Structure 1
Amino acid sequence: MQIRTHVMFVLMMILVPGLGAHAQEVSPALPVAVVRTSIVIEQTVPTLVEVVGTLQAVERAAIAAKVTGVVTDVPVALGSRVNTGDLLVNISAREIAAQLNQAQARFKQAERNLLREQTLLQKHAATAETVKSMQDNYAVASAAVQEVRSMLGYATITAPFSGVITQKNVHAGELATPGTMLLRMENDQKLQVACAVPESLVFQIRPGQTLTVTIPTAGLTMNGKVAEVAPSADPASRTAPITIDLSYNEKLRTGQFARVKLPGQIKTSLFVPDGTVLLRGQMERVFVAADNKAHLRLVRTGMHQDGLTEIVAGLNSGETVICQNNAHLVDGQPIKSP
């Protein structure tokens, strides 16, 4: 029994060094990777605050009646495109037409009376005071004709500008009364974003300033110019309304949801070139170059601008990072510059 134990111990002493030597033989050294590096830079950038807004037309109008009458013609439909001066609604106004006839008759009578008195004045058969009274009657009658003629003109409603009909509340045969909204139209070629800006940021917005606007439903991100800035804030919401003019795009429609980026406070951040940060799942990784080796570092990124990526956490200013040929690096792998 003692002889067998001794033999097993001798075999273990022989085999164990052999196993260790085999393990060392199957661990080849990592190759030296040729990479390009960059320095983590520190920049001062403004923070961006995002607010929401709604697209609306710069030119929009609610078409309402100014006289009472039966609607005789509505030659437009919902979505119709019209030009300036095109007929929108025609209202029958027989009462106003009758008033116009009466006013014209009084005007002609006042005109005849004035001519008669002027002739008598030349023959010294009338006084200057009588002529002056006839002139006043003539002016009143003329003004009455102009007034009724203007009222009759309100029976024909035309387009105040070129645009599209977005709402139709009237049909032929219905009664129109003063103040009743008949149509709504807008110029869909000139759109703007209306949004509310926090009172802490409104003083940083100026007319003519360029802001970035995103319309998710249209898949567009474009620059717009600030058109109007309210001089005061709403005490209830602590915001001030602004409008931003947009250039024409066929994908834009009034009522669409929009996001507007506003400049906020100035801050200092770290940046690395795009391509430095590698994604694996939800992890953001960077290789730091130190002692001629690549060292893996987990980071957290922020915004992207001008070919640079903001580093929120994980790096320090002045560190050297690998920005090219870094996709297949391994932590601790030797590196060298080209």
Structure 2
Amino acid sequence: MNTSRRFLLAPAWRLAPLAGRICLVASLALATLALATSPPVAAQERTAVIGARADVRPWSDPLEALGTLRADESVTLSATVTEIIAELNFRDGEAVEAGQLLIRLEDSEERAQLRAAQAQRDERRSAVDRLSQLQSRNMAPRADVEDSQARLRQVEAEIQGLEARLTNYRLRAPFDGVVGFRNISVGSLVTPGTELVTLDKLDVMKLDFSVPEVYLAILSPGLKLSARSVAFPEEVFEGEVASIGSRVDPVSRSITVRAEIDNPELRLRPGMLMEVVLQRSPRQAVVVPESALIPSGDRQYVLVIDEADENRLERREVRVGERRTGQAEIIDGLEPNELVVSHGVQRAREGDRVRLLGIASEENSIREILEAHREEGEA
């Protein structure tokens, strides 16, 4: 009985190495089959990225400030005499030309006095002519001629005075501009000092802002700047420095700068708050999208796409200068027109060959590239 049990167990122990060998051979066969049926490395799907050119662009170091707009010319027309308004020739917010009559006060009495003075002038002028003829014939003394000429000059001076007074009854626009609200009516009695209407010249705006005195050395007339307003968040208004204040504020240690901004569409208004970016140290710089930068400690890298080597990636260290929103200045490490990975940096690795979906630029946005690629995939 025991002999039989040992006989049955012995073959199972001896068969174990043989089963292991059979499993090993099967595994090798499956691995060989998998390698034979898998695609080659070159045919495998490459990492999709979007590139960007290292462009040479005008660049500057921004200096930010807050400023207030003022009209290029601004005046409030006021009455200088006590009289009743006889005529109003403008509407609220109307654009007027220089010399245009805006308001006429009642001036019938002054015009009557002017007509009387003009008649008197004609009379005395005739008297001077008669006495001059008589004096040429020695029939009138020279003194009478001189007295008549003096009286003529006197009445002419009175006429000039009356004409000057009449200008106080007619208020004209001193320059081209836009009038404000009309808060007066025909028939209203006005007195000296009464404000009648405002007039602003808005085709060019003055922008006043303060700059710390440490930047005084870089300030000069003609320095370019850009300005934004919350009223037009998508609009950038370009201008330049017109003048620099003559004094530094001893409390804030800042100096006032005045710039001029063209306003042909008259959208900007006096009193508006503007965010100013002063373009100091203007230069030409190599610029890449900020998304292309790969930070590593205190160093910055980019992935350069070698187009001559089937879009192979090269990890290269660069030195970064100033940054703007979405852009970075490259001081060293990158040549103009080189192609770098701007989107897909996280998935790409040095040495990989990538699939370039497109090159982002001002004419070809990221969204347009992705939409075009999606349409190609659906087709």
What's the CA shift for 1:208? 3.6
| Equivalent pair of 1:68/1:93 in contact (CA under 8 Å) | no
What's the CA shift for 1:193? 3.5
1:145–1:61 CA distance, 2 compared to 1 (3 A): same
What's the CA shift for 1:92? 0.4
Aligned residues: CA RMSD: 4.7
Aligned to 2:237: 222
Larger helix proportion, structure 1 or 2?
Answer: 2
| Equivalent pair of 1:55/1:191 in contact (CA under 8 Å) | no
> What secondary structure does 2:292 align onto?
coil
Instruction: Please give the alpha-carbon distance, in whole angstroms, between the structure 1 residues aligned to 2:178 and 2:47.
Output: 64
1:147–1:202 CA distance, 2 compared to 1 (3 A): farther
Matches within 5 A, 1:1-338: 46-188=60-202, 190-198=203-211, 199-202=213-216, 204-218=218-232, 219-226=234-241, 228-230=242-244, 232-233=246-247, 235=249, 238-249=254-265, 251-264=267-280, 273-277=289-293, 303-304=323-324, 308-310=327-329, 318=333, 323-324=340-341, 327=344, 329=346, 335-336=351-352
> What secondary structure does 1:255 align onto?
coil
Instruction: Please give the alpha-carbon distance, in whole angstroms, between the structure 1 residues aligned to 2:48 and 2:136.
Output: 115
1:167–1:294 CA distance, 2 compared to 1 (3 A): same
| Equivalent pair of 1:34/1:336 in contact (CA under 8 Å) | no
Instruction: Please give the alpha-carbon distance, in whole angstroms, between the structure 1 residues aligned to 2:74 and 2:287.
Output: 46
> What secondary structure does 2:159 align onto?
helix
1:337–1:193 CA distance, 2 compared to 1 (3 A): farther
Q: Which amino acid aligns with 1:223?
A: E
1:58–1:162 CA distance, 2 compared to 1 (3 A): same
Q: Which amino acid aligns with 2:275?
A: R
5+ residue gaps, structure 1: 1-30, 280-284
| Equivalent pair of 1:167/1:185 in contact (CA under 8 Å) | no
What's the CA shift for 1:294? 9.8
5+ residue gaps, structure 2: 1-44, 305-311, 355-379
Aligned residues: 292
Q: What is the aligned-residue identity percentage?
A: 22
| Equivalent pair of 2:67/2:208 in contact (CA under 8 Å) | yes
Instruction: Please give the alpha-carbon distance, in whole angstroms, between the structure 2 residues aligned to 1:90 and 1:325.
Output: 67
Q: Which amino acid aligns with 2:269?
A: R
TM-score, normalised via structure 1 length: 0.66
Q: Which amino acid aligns with 2:323?
A: M
Instruction: Please give the alpha-carbon distance, in whole angstroms, between the structure 2 residues aligned to 1:197 and 1:124.
Output: 79
Q: Which amino acid aligns with 2:149?
A: Q
Instruction: Please give the alpha-carbon distance, in whole angstroms, between the structure 2 residues aligned to 1:250 and 1:63.
Output: 21
| Equivalent pair of 2:61/2:322 in contact (CA under 8 Å) | no
1:52–1:196 CA distance, 2 compared to 1 (3 A): same
> What secondary structure does 1:58 align onto?
strand
Q: Which entry has the higher C-alpha Rg, 1 or 2?
A: 2
